[in-house]
Chains A and B, each alone.
Chain A
Amino acid sequence: MIRTLPNSKAYTTGFKVFIVLYFVFLFAPLVVTMVLAFNNSMFPALPWQGFTWDWFFGKGPDKIGIFHDAINLRSIYTSFRVAAGVTILSTVVGTMAAFLFEQEEFRFKKLLYFLMLAPMVIPGVILGISILMFSTAVGLFFENTFGWNMDMFSPGIGLVIFGQFSFITTIVTLLISARLKKFDRTLEEAAYNLGANRLEVIWFITLNYLRPAIIGAAIVAFLMSFENFNTTLFLVGSNATLPINLYLQVRDGSTPVINAIAFLLIVTTSCIAVVNLYSGSRNKT
């Protein structure tokens, strides 16, 4: 049954086969995508026609690699800008929210906490359209009352950042709160007794203690923003982010340049994830 009990051979083998199959299911699409990035073919398909770097470095005319593909590079740059904005905003506000819910007492705290959790149960598509409609209404209001034509309320990078920020901050808050809960508040009292004010206590003691959680949350925020599609779809203007741009290419027929992008994304995110997990588990012990 479990590892401390004697198990029949059939049981253990059966279970092992199941797990192996599960991991094949998990990795087959990723491995195949990565391998086909190096196939010397115009289509992301077999047969294997030899190894090539063209889908990374090709200069054309028939094979334009990712490093010379202006549209895809631009969308990667856009995604980086969005993710950077979302990461900074959501980490700052998420940390404040963690302090607010863990260390402050106020009326309607339960209600506000419930609201803070709400983005977790609102589908991303709904967040996207509701923010689109609200910002359009605000933009119209400014235009009609003051005659100001404000671009920031129409779809574009700013709106994408706010849209993603609206739910990623909840995740950041939960991650940082989890560590703040374990914080020994006698340390703060000791600092107060030694004459520190609240700002100093937060800066030198609490934030210092929270640092691993804040860094971890920032990485999660960055990755979530970088891959967000559902909320972004409705808020994006002419500057497509990478997932939106990839979606358009996959929908309308694709070349192995997508495999090359996938290869780079899989390798980078896996490295970040492994480093994050490794440092996370080290901090716990």
Chain B
Amino acid sequence: MNRWLLLGVLLLGGLGTHSLFAQSLTDCHCLIKGVVKDRETRQPIAGAVLILKETGRNAITDAQGQYKIEQLCQGTYVLECRIVGYKVIKTTISLQHSAEEDINLNEDEVHLQDVEIVARRIQAPLTQKSTVLQGQALEQTRGQTLGDALKQITGVTVLQTGASISKPVIHGLHSNRVLIMNNGIRQEGQQWGSEHAPEIDPFIAKRMTVVKGAAGVRYGSDAIGGVILVEPEELPKNGKINGELNTAAFSNARMGVVSGTLQGGIPKWEGFGWRIQGTLKNGGNIRTPDYFLANTGIQEQNFSVTAGYRTGKVGVEAFYSQFQTNVGIFSGSHIGSTSDLLNVIKNGEPFIKVDFNRQIERPNQLISHNLLKIKTFRNFNGNRLNLIVGRQYNRRAEYDLHGPQATTNPALLFRLTTFTGDLTFEHKPIASKVNGQVGLSGLYQYNFTDGRPLIPDFEQKNLGLFLIERVVHQKWEWEAGVRYDWRKLDVFQFIGTTLDPRLHYFGSWSGTSGVVHTAREGLSFRVNFGTAWRPPNPSELYSKGVHHGAAAYEEGDDQLKPEVAYNLIGSVDYTHKRFRAELGVYRNLIQNFIYLKPQAEPILTIRGAFPYFKNVQTQAVFTGIDVDTEWEIITNKLIHTQKLAYLRAYDLRQNNYLVLIPANRLESGLRWQLGKALKCDNTYFSLNHLWVDRQRRVPPNSDFMEPPAAYHLWSVVAGGDLPLSKGKVLQWSITVQNLFDTAYRDYLNRFRYYAIEQGRNSSVRLKWSF
């Protein structure tokens, strides 16, 4: 029932309202009643507002989560449920009965519709635009990296280092300016590096949410460009064992991915649930339309274990995950000097070409990430107390091509240990209208760097306190919050072999305020003004040396001040019959924006002269528009989608553009839903086109090479659900990316100097749920 309802809610999003029946003999003694519950805890929710869109009639749930709307005429209604802190739910209800003339029928027998509403608590800020990737859209990305999965969201692009390392970019910001919340915990790896991809197995996620814009109040420092929430499915509560097996096979790189999940409860131990999950990935050299890229294989092994116990009142959950990957770095990208780089750019293709090979050699990265997390909650008198504690250990070993030690020791080894603790208290609704939470976040982290000098060892402590309150009043939802963060950073810098310790204190306020207004059915507006901050990281403060691969000598500045972002973001959601559109506009002003500024004199080293860059601060402004449209040309049969992302990033002090900003892009899709075909249900076929413009907004002479030309990419997907015995389903899909094997380069790929992008890639995905 619940699942059906949720599905109904999803499907209804784009369908609009159903007109009322024209009735002459109207029976107006119908009744809708039901209960509103939290999907996760199954606790009733008090103070939820239920509105019948057609009549404006409404009700508020009582302490038991029950509501009742009486004296309704028969017909079809859209019932909307709103609760602060939860997603808005809409469901269609048909109030009818067979004997229309019998006015004196017992209400409870015929006219009654009993609707249970299951609400999902929203983790994302209410008034800020967030986009969720789940279901089929997520399934179609299985086997790809986290960044690649997210780039189908408008406004999200990827920063790549070759095809196997990709980082999500939100509204032009990435790395330390985008925060990833892995299952409630800040993901703490070596985020500052552009060649450091998030260490998360995307198969853990059943839902990925991208919050666009500064969201510093709820999530703390670094949430300048946006936040990515990676959320698994809730643990099962009953004893039945079930699971799924995902496989994906790719023609390019001859990559195979297998991922399985098994979950269940313990019979007769109501409330206990467990899950084990694991993923294996293996790929070889990537093929471009013209040649293979030497040493671009990947091997990945991940697993996670979850166990928990929960009732309506109390719950505890332990989660452990391990992520382990060995990524080959394209050998053609290995350069020793600026002249090496200029030579390969001049050559237009790698000097050395090889055949397909699975072996991973130097240079490569060996990365492991362990996360242990314990989450508990307790509900009392309508309040809720959450505690999440976590420990992460990130080990990143980067092996160079060089010398005798390359075979045994990494050229660079980072070991980062992070402890986090978050305590939040969600109070019960005040006057059924105001809901909110207050929270305390702590972080303790230390890092060791071994090998070639790059960044010093450091230790940091962080404390944050926040308060967010939300109000729902009729068609308006308001949200406001404030936070203070404090950080102490100890840096263990060595001058030669003498320790020269440094100490930094940083602190900053963050704030957010916003409103959502539902003007009428199918039209809503939201505006949010939020701030977020980010203290400079040890790399920006203390790095000194040649950045291999970038052919640049980079130098930090220990006087840098924290960055503060002021982000204004507004959006309009419009639905009319078979048409749906979302328009988002943003302006993100970043004070003390840290970037690498080219210096006049190059640095002369034993490997020749390198361009010299220093970390400096400026005032940067990111302005952009995201547009999403969906048009059902033929209802439920033929759907056209379009996504437009426009971004302009400007340095207000230098009066010039910023470097490495994603180019504007337009993506169009045509999806044909065949329904039942080829013995399958939900069969579909879709054709997609992506156009990425050439980045024309770059400062002059800022790069070794002009930004690459605009490109067009085509892709096709076909899929369906093959029913197996006993209601089991095998979901399949076939995808061809870069259908015409187009040779292109992307401005946000650091390897654009060395090689063209990946060529055609056909893949088959199978998902068997049992």
Chains A and B belong together in one complex? no
Residues of chain A touching chain B, judged by Cβ–Cβ distance below 8 Å, are: none
Residues of chain B touching chain A, judged by Cβ–Cβ distance below 8 Å, are: none
